[in-house]
Amino acid sequence: MVVISRENGGPGMVVGTVVQRAHYFAVSKTVDSFTDPKGFKGKRIATSPEPNTNFSVTKRLIESNGMKLGVDATIVPVSPGTEIAAMLAGVADIAVAYQPGVAQAVAQGAKIVFDFSNYVGPFCNTGIMVLPGTIQKDSSTVQALVTAFEEAGRRTYSDPDYAKKVARLEFPDLPGDVVDAAIDAELKYKIPASSVVTEKDAWESLMGMQKYLGNIKGTLTFDQVADNTFADKAAKRAG
């Protein structure tokens, strides 16, 4: 999640996007797949506690589709990272979780019943934020960081086998086929940013959710918060 930070009264700047979709999946062993959010009706849904993003997107999805939270559907808050375990233990009917936990659940007989990425669409789920002072004092480091993310995103999509190799090193305790399945799902649903450039519609989608939840007043415009100068250079360099 992108968080607005401040230095001497000025906002931190978003200089790039890392995750371009809501990277959450509703997973279950007992519920059939659905595309209409009203499929959550009558269900107990395990998420991390508020204000974690999987709680936020689930809450908005329920309420914006005419359902009342706690009446038509119930969110069961659990410790971050234990959503799947709660579902497998029967504490909830559905878990809203992310990879590679989702791939682990599928390997244990669960399935993805709803994906937030396609329903929500472009969404600046995770971004790179830098304080204005850092941009002024060390722009070369900021540029190097943003360029590295641009190159990494492009290689992830162009060379999935390499992405899987890196992921297996990152998660050595997981079976290799589970890690591979997680990467395949991330790419299928276009979760990693294909370019680090922050798109206005993706940012406004994030801000719309935050305003809906009352987390922000939304007084800063896209141009006041996002600085694509570094990202544009990185994208041009990458071709």
Q: Which domain holds residue 41?
A: 25-120
Determine the pLDDT at residue 34.
Answer: 96
Q: Read off the amino acid at residue 59.
A: K
Instruction: Kindly report the backbone phi and psi dihedral angles of residue 93, in degrees, each rounded to the nearest multiple of 5, phi listed first.
Output: -80, -35
Mean pLDDT of 53-81: 94
pLDDT interval class at 214 (50, 70, 90): confident
Per-residue DSSP letters for 41-60? Answer: TT-EEEEPPTTSHHHHHHHH
pLDDT interval class at 1 (50, 70, 90): very low
Determine the pLDDT at residue 140.
Answer: 97
Determine the pLDDT at residue 58.
Answer: 94
pLDDT interval class at 4 (50, 70, 90): very low
Copy the structure tokens of residue 208. 């719309």
Residue 149: give its domain's CATH number. 3.40.190.10
Copy the structure tokens of residue 171. 């998660």
Average pLDDT for the chain: 91
This prediction has a pTM of 0.85
Tell me which of 76, 105, 120 is where a domain ends: 120
Per-residue DSSP letters for 115-156? Answer: EHHHHH-EEEEEEEEE-HHHHHH-HHHHHHHHHHHHHHHHHH
Contacts for 199-208: CB closer than 8 Å, 24+ residues apart? 199/17, 199/20, 199/122, 199/124, 200/226, 201/121, 201/122, 202/17, 202/20, 202/122, 202/123, 202/124, 203/14, 203/124, 205/120, 205/121, 205/122, 205/123, 205/124, 206/2, 206/123, 206/124, 206/125
pLDDT interval class at 11 (50, 70, 90): low
pLDDT interval class at 8 (50, 70, 90): very low
- Asked whether the beta carbons of 31 and 94 are under 8 A apart, the reply is yes
Determine the pLDDT at residue 218.
Answer: 66
**Beta pairing partners, 31:** none
Structural domain count of the chain: 2
Mean pLDDT of 78-97: 96
52 pLDDT higher than 90: no
Q: Is residue 1 part of a domain?
A: no
Determine the pLDDT at residue 3.
Answer: 39
Instruction: Provide, rounded to the nearest whole percent, the portion of the chain with pLDDT above 70.
Output: 95
Tell me which of 120, 136, 170 is where a domain ends: 120
223 pLDDT higher than 50: yes
Q: Indicate the helix (H) or strand (E) that contains 16.
A: strand 13-21
Instruction: Provide, rounded to the nearest whole percent, the portion of the chain with pLDDT above 90.
Output: 80
Q: Which residue has 């799947």 as its token pair?
A: 84
Q: Are residues 128 and 220 in the same domain?
A: yes
Determine the pLDDT at residue 221.
Answer: 83
Q: Are residues 108 and 38 in the same domain?
A: yes
Residue 4: exposed, middle, or buried by beta-carbon count in 10 A (0-12, 13-18, 19+)? middle
